[in-house]
Amino acid sequence: MRHLFSEAGLARLDTFVQPGMLCAFDFDGTLTPIVAQPDQAQMPAMMRERLMALSKYAPVAILTGRGLADMRAHMGFEPAYVVGNHGNEGLPGWEANAQRFAALCKKWHAFLRDHLRPQGEDAGVLIEDKRYSLSVHYRAAPDQAVAAARLLTLFKALSPMPRVMGGKCVFNLLPPEAVDKGWAVQQLLEISGAPGAMYIGDDITDEDVFSLKRSDVLSVRVDFFKDSAADFFVQNQGEVGQVLDALIGRMKIRSKLAC
């Protein structure tokens, strides 16, 4: 995995970027800094302005673990596509599973609420109910390693066993048959008719996109991680803005040449 702003990375951008390609992004940790309380996340104004400028040349999509209702309160603009719950909310046909997924997550939530001890060993643990999935945060736990081990033990008692996806001090619980972000990106490519897609994400849940290894998908990970399947990386969330500038600049030039 090489730095996107290396000679090889810039050369890849030059050959790959074209107007009309799908530009897809994770939200937390990619377009906005990760915060201790998820409801306090807000997209920085400069990031929002760049995305709005980019949307003049290409369809913009946000793929997030958040629920759609929650997501719309944190964006400040309307991209072409918003897909929530790790790909399980917002794409055609998702409603078929909605009632069943919601009932399952409600059952899991009740079990965890009854068995967590927030005034004792589970201090700092927060359950975020996204209706069709759950996110259990332990960033505020006094001992994160102990909290993670305790939560994994609790998850084994859930029935049916959820698909557990780790993250940055969070476990995402999804129904066993839930889809993922990789599937969602492929669906968006088909729906949009875009000639290719660039995807930027920062976490384990984004590896489902990185591992697609399609010639028409260029993937970028925020923060270097040696085991990532992403094509390239940027050093931190702040460099994502520079990526957007690079995309806008190249698409603007290609649009003028096409006229």
Is the CATH number 3.40.50.1000 carried by domain 2-88+180-258? Answer: yes
Sequence ranges of the domains in the chain: 2-88+180-258, 95-174
- Residue-wise pLDDT for 137-163, tens only, equals 999 999 999 999 999 999 999 999 999
Q: Locate tokens 């599973």: which residue?
A: 97
Identify the pLDDT of residue 259.
63
> What values do phi and psi take at 128, rounded to 5?
-105, 110
Contact 31, 240 (CB under 8 A): yes
Architecture of domain 95-174: 2-Layer Sandwich (3.30)
Please give the Cα distance from 198 to 251 (Å, whole number): 13
64-85 b/e (C-beta count within 10 Å ≥ 16 → b):
bbbbbebbeebbeeebbbbbbb
Percent of the chain at pLDDT exceeding 90: 84
The pTM (predicted TM-score) of the whole model is 0.90
Please give the Cα distance from 3 to 15 (Å, whole number): 16
Active site residues: 26
Tokens of 192: 């949009």
Contacts of residues 115-121 at CB distance under 8 Å and 24 or more positions apart, as own/partner, are 115/154, 115/157, 116/154, 121/146, 121/150
Residues lower than pLDDT 70 in the chain = 258-259
